[in-house]
Amino acid sequence: MSVLVKRSFTLAGHRTSVALEPEFWTALAALAAADDRALSALVAEIDAGRGPERPLASALRVHALLRSR
């Protein structure tokens, strides 16, 4: 079982924390770097595009999965 790693971000003017497995943080950081932007910018974009029914952690995992294909 992987340990979750918690990171904090300011999204839409509010501080929030997200806990993901280290492997997902690594994948998201690589995707952000490939787009030449900060991880926080990628997280903010994913947050802005998700529906209210999808938790942010879930949206981040799905994004990492779909982009890694």
Pairwise CA distance, residues 3 & 54, whole Å: 22
Domain ranges of the chain: 5-68
| pLDDT band (50, 70, 90) for residue 69 | confident
Query: What is the CATH number assigned to the segment(s) 5-68?
Result: 1.10.3990.20
Do you know the residue count of the chain? 69
| pLDDT band (50, 70, 90) for residue 20 | very high
Dump pLDDT digits (tens) for 21-42. 999 999 999 999 999 999 999 9
Question: In sequence order, which residues have a C-beta less than 8 Å from that of residue 3 and are 6 or more positions away?
Answer: 21, 22
Q: What is the pTM of this model?
A: 0.92
